[in-house]
Amino acid sequence: MRVATWNVNSVVVRLPQVLAWLGTAEPDVLCLQELKCSTDAFPYEEIRELGYEAQAHGTGRWNGVAILSKVGFEDVVRDLPDQPGFQAEDSMIEVREPRAIAATCGPVRVWSVYVPNGREVEHPHYFYKLKWLDALRAASVQDAAGERPYAVLGDFNIAPTDADLWDPSAYEGMTHVTAPEREALAALQGTGLQDVLPRPLKYDQPFSYWDYRQLAFPKNRGMRIDLVLGNKPFATAVTDAYVDREARKGKSPSDHAPVVVDLDL
């Protein structure tokens, strides 16, 4: 089977690209992030016409995650257990954002996650990011150690190593590369998950994100921040993994490309 993850930066705007990609890549399971639409506004019908059921979790303007499946759904869960919320500096209330959804699709259980950005090092959003990652770690402990193939897929907003950056010196002092973020990611992997490293279709590094500005994509100034972390039964079933950078081309693309994993399952 084939599973994939893709931050689409608005599923409503990107619907033509998503439908076209489903038609050509034909994943069995596709995790989406940054829906930027409510659960009710998700384009279920258009996706159903291609043979996919969808489970979405969104509130409108920001965030939002979904799972598309050709092989059914069981045990759908919205939000991490004990998922922290974010409290803006000018707000009295902590808001839990739609950043995680899980489901069992055929033989695999997956989380589709959109890890908080962090904004700036030491910003409240940065500490929120670290806390959120710890909640994700806690949520993974049982399934990561289990016999069933299990993976956490999504936009982690962390480059695991400097090799995942087009120019490490360009990111000094920035989020996405700091030691605490990488340690939180390593702790998640420590539950028994390994980074399924995709092969690049061009150049040497399998970037999954390129900024819209300053010709970042044509110059291949990218980052690998969209990850697939699989437990042992998942990782040992992997037959191929790649970043479909073709999807970053064309008119009005997302700034992320899909990460695709083929499995002998």
Partner DNA sequence: ATGCCATTCTCAGAATGA
Positive or negative CA dihedral for 191, 131, 63, 170? negative
Give the binding range for DNA (CB under 7 A) out of 54-62, 70-78, 140-148, 184-192.
54-62
Under a CB-based contact definition with an 8 Å cutoff, are residues 3 and 108 in contact?
A: yes
Contact residue for DNA among 48, 72, 81, 119 (CB under 7 A): 119
Q: Specify the 3-state DSSP secondary structure of 19.
A: helix
Gap between the Cα atoms of 150 and 66, Å rounded: 17
- Is residue 69 near DNA by the rule CB under 7 A? no
Interface segment toward DNA; rule CB under 7 A; list 56-64, 72-80, 144-152, 189-197: 56-64
Say how far residue 49 (Cα) sits from the centre of its chain: 24
CA pair distance 260, 244, nearest whole angstrom: 7
Q: Is 148 in the site for DNA (CB under 7 A)?
A: no
CB of residue 260 to DNA, shortest distance in Å: 19
* CB nearer DNA, residue 7 or residue 69: 7
From 48, 81, 85, 88, residue interacting with DNA (rule: CB under 7 A): 88
C-beta closer to DNA: residue 24 or 214: 214
Q: Report residue 4: phi and psi, to 5°.
A: -150, 165
Q: Binding residue for DNA (CB under 7 A) from 43, 76, 117, 135?
A: 117
Asked whether 226 and 154 are in contact (CB, 8 A), the reply is yes
Residues 188-207 that bind DNA (CB under 7 A): 202
Task: Give residues with Cβ within 8 angstroms of 175, minimum separation 6.
Answer: 117, 118, 119, 120, 121, 126, 129, 157, 181
Binding letters toward DNA, positions 11-40, x by CB under 7 A: -xxx-------------------x-xx---
Question: Interface with DNA by CB under 7 A: which range of 49-57, 67-75, 117-125, 142-150?
Answer: 117-125
Nearer Cβ to DNA, position 199 or 202? 202
